[in-house]
Amino acid sequence: DQQVKQNSPSLSVQEGRISILNCDYTNSMFDYFLWYKKYPAEGPTFLISISSIKDKNEDGRFTVFLNKSAKHLSLHIVPSQPGDSAVYFCAASEGTGRRALTFGSGTRLQVQP
């Protein structure tokens, strides 16, 4: 039973355009959400996070939106750059004290020059 789902295995965008990566979750106890980026042969690198008390968090070119009623979050990258090409993982955790992360299966983003 996948509690965090990333339904698009891959996404291709042109340099300078917006990249939108989507993530859905089923566990209503999740209250903290994160996006990680992963290059080949490296571990996941933290990008941005959002608490369930917010609906938007922005950090430079990266913005995460949370829609709790739809159990949906998205990551917007504007403008997209070739160096953003990587696999992006959505992750979630529930409750204070329990911070084990549940990950989606990832979306491979390719930014074309």
Partner 1 sequence: DTGVSQNPRHKITKRGQNVTFRCDPISEHNRLYWYRQTLGQGPEFLTYFQNEAQLEKSRLLSDRFSAERPKGSFSTLEIQRTEQGDSAMYLCASSFAGREPQHFGDGTRLSIL
Which residues contact partner 1 (rule: CB under 8 A)? 4, 32, 34, 36, 41-46, 49, 89, 91, 98-106
Least spacing, CB of residue 15 vs partner 1, in Å = 27
**Considering Cα of 3, then 25, then 75, then 111, what sign does the dihedral take?**
positive
- Closest CB to partner 1 among residues 42, 70: 42
Which residues, 6+ apart, have CB-to-CB distance to 103 below 8 Å? 4, 36, 89, 90, 91
- Closest CB to partner 1 among residues 15, 57: 57
Least spacing, CB of residue 16 vs partner 1, in Å = 28
Least spacing, CB of residue 14 vs partner 1, in Å = 26
Number of residues in the chain: 113
Q: Which residues pair with 89 in a beta bridge?
A: 36
- Closest CB to partner 1 among residues 91, 111: 91
CA distance 75 to 90: 9
